Amino acid sequence: MVNGKIQTLNQFIIERQKEHPYAKGEFSRLMHHVGIAAKIVNREVNKAGLVDLLGDAGEENIQGETQQKLDVYADVHFIDALKSCGEVCGIATEENQHMITFNNALSKDAKYIFLMDPLDGSSNIDVNVSIGTLFSIYKRVTPVGTKAEMQDFLQPGNQQVASGYILYGSSTMLVYTTGNGVNGFTLDPSIGEFCLSHRDIKTPKDGTIYSINEGNYSKFPFGVKSYIKYCQENDAKTKRPYSSRYIGSLVADFHRNFLKGGIFMYPESVSYPTGKLRLLYECNPIAFLAEQAGGLASDGFNRIMDIQPKELHQRIPFYVGSSNMVKKIEQFLKER
Ligand code: P6P
């Protein structure tokens, strides 16, 4: 609310653009198109059960995962929206093995690179569990006017100019940062607009929620096993009433802990020797949001956003959330 009035995403983008007097509206136009694509995907996610978008598209994506029709739908519509906005020269997504470069007339002077997981947690679609889109935005490092190259995509997370997610849950939210704090917008279906609902989100420094797939317990590093036991001990002195919450959908698990306080962990294991989650379009965008809200994001030993990527779909162990909880797991991993 601004002076008691609803503030839409577009009004917010324009207001923030005024803070950058030399901004020519390019980033604003890009974010506006992210909002459009989010509404298009939301419409289909919300009625997937009715229009036979459920079930497998029959193909497999680069991850060897069977592509759900909605995965493909989301991928196609975000790529179309970003291609038509003319501000993006290249896109990389979980659904495509190779980077996609735009050198059409509209995009030839584009300066932004867009990385995304168009629909993360898609195995949850059929059972109506919240799912999400994750995105990360960089300035290109190669000359404007030339074809985007791999080095434009393989930038460390500390070079992100923006990141965010769309959470298709009991309500649909767009949460993003441009490096000046984190703001959340809730979609009002009655007017078809994302409206500012969570201004300047700050994540608690401590929390009592830990999120991890404990089914993999036997395969975790010893430090992770010790931390889980630490969370579960009922210590009269410190009164650690931790709760275990894990829905198996990254955006939903992160968003809950982000607002309430908590830690999300996806360690390396025998099945995933370098972790399961993707550095470029899952961990980096979430890490940027977490840090902007006062949290931390680590691979257990290093700041996620300082890691130099080596390839588009690189996996990484991931510990993110309340700063004191991330520091505690790092201590356990270091000592054990
Ligand atoms: P597991 C969903 O497939 C996903 O990529 C993330 O959304 C989620 O956090 C994770 O994998 C769940 O993985 O191995 O616990 O089922």
Average pLDDT over residues 289-305: 98
Strand 182-188 to strand 172-177: parallel, antiparallel, or no bridges (unpaired)? antiparallel
Task: Determine if ligand 1 sits within 6 Å of the CB of residue 134.
Answer: no
CA 121–ligand 1 middle distance (angstroms): 6
User: What's the CA-to-centroid distance between 143 and ligand 1, angstroms?
Assistant: 37
Q: What is the CA radius of gyration of the chain?
A: 20
Tell the residue number behind the tokens 């917010």, with chain if given.
12
Compute the Cα dihedral for 256, 75, 81, 146 and give only its sign. Answer: positive
Instruction: Locate 299 and state its tokens.
Output: 């691979």
Q: Which of 266, 271, 281 to mutate to test the pocket of ligand 1 (most atoms within 8 A of CB)?
A: 266
pLDDT, position 24? 76
* Complete domains list, the chain, with CATH: 9-198 (3.30.540.10), 209-335 (3.40.190.80)
* pLDDT value, residue 56: 62
**Closest residue by CA, ligand 1 atom 3:** 121
Tokens (6 digits) for 67:
């592509």
299-319, pLDDT tens digit by residue?
Answer: 999 999 999 999 999 999 999
167 lines ligand 1 (CB under 6 A): no
Residue 307 identity: I
Compute, in angstroms, the gap from residue 56 CA to the centroid of ligand 1: 17
From 11-20, 153-162, 233-242, the region with the lowest mean pLDDT:
233-242
Q: pLDDT grade, residue 22 (50/70/90)?
A: low
Segment 28-39, tens digit of pLDDT: 999 999 999 999
Checking if the pLDDT of 83 tops 60, the result is yes
- Identify the weakest region by mean pLDDT among 47-56, 155-164, 262-271: 47-56
Q: In what order do the strands lie in the sheet with 318-321?
A: 243-244, 209-211, 263-266, 318-321, 296-298
Nearest 5 degrees, angle CA 173-CA 175-CA 176? 155
Please report which confidence band the pLDDT of residue 221 belongs to, taking 50, 70 and 90 as the band edges: very high
| pLDDT (0 to 100) of residue 235 | 64
The percentage of residues in the chain with a pLDDT greater than 90, rounded to a whole number, is 75
- CB of 213 within 6 A of ligand 1: the answer is yes
Phi-psi region of 76 (alpha: psi -120 to 50; beta: other; left: phi over 0): alpha
What is the per-residue pLDDT for 105? 86
User: 0.85 cut: is pTM over it?
Assistant: yes
Per-residue pLDDT, 128: 86
CA distances from 81 to 28, 41, 189, 215, 225 (A): 14, 11, 20, 39, 44
Q: Please report which confidence band the pLDDT of residue 144 belongs to, taking 50, 70 and 90 as the band edges.
A: very high
For a ligand 1 pocket test, name from 249, 253, 283, 320 the mutation site with the most ligand atoms within 8 angstroms of its C-beta: 249
- 49, pLDDT greater than 60: no
Contact predicate 76/100, CB 8 Å: no
248 lines ligand 1 (CB under 6 A): yes
Q: Which residues have CB under 8 Å from 6's CB, separation 6+? A: 188, 193, 195, 196
Distance CA 303, CA 253 (A): 20
Looking at residue 88, its pLDDT comes to 96
Whose Cα sits closest to atom 12 in ligand 1? 248
Three-state DSSP at 318 gives: strand
Give yes or no for residue 121 CB within 6 A of ligand 1. Answer: yes
**Phi, psi torsion values for 64, nearest 5 degrees:** 80, 10
Say whether pLDDT at 262 is over 60.
Answer: yes
Residue of 126, 276, 286, 320 to mutate, ligand 1, most atoms within 8 A of C-beta: 276
Question: Does 250 sit in the ligand 1 pocket, CB within 6 Å?
Answer: yes
Alpha-carbon span 136 to 163, nearest angstrom: 4
Cβ-contact 283, 316 below 8 angstroms: yes
Contact present, 248 and 195 (Cβ < 8 Å): no
Number of residues that make up the chain: 336
The yes-or-no verdict on residue 5 having pLDDT over 90 is: no
Ligand 1 center–CA 251 separation, angstroms: 10
Can you state the angle between helices 323-335 and 222-232, rounded to 10 degrees?
A: 130
Instruction: Give nearest CA residue, ligand 1 atom 14.
Output: 213
The angle, 0 to 180 degrees and rounded to 10, between the axes of the packed helices 9-17 and 26-46 is 160
Higher pLDDT among residues 82 and 241, named by residue: 82
Query: Higher confidence at residue 158 or residue 73?
Result: 158
Mean residue pLDDT across the chain: 91
pLDDT tens-digit readout, 233-243 = 866 566 667 99
Task: Give the C-alpha separation, 215 to 253, whole Å.
Answer: 16
Q: Who wins on pLDDT, 256 or 25?
A: 256
* pLDDT: which is higher, 45 or 330: 330
pLDDT interval class at 123 (50, 70, 90): confident
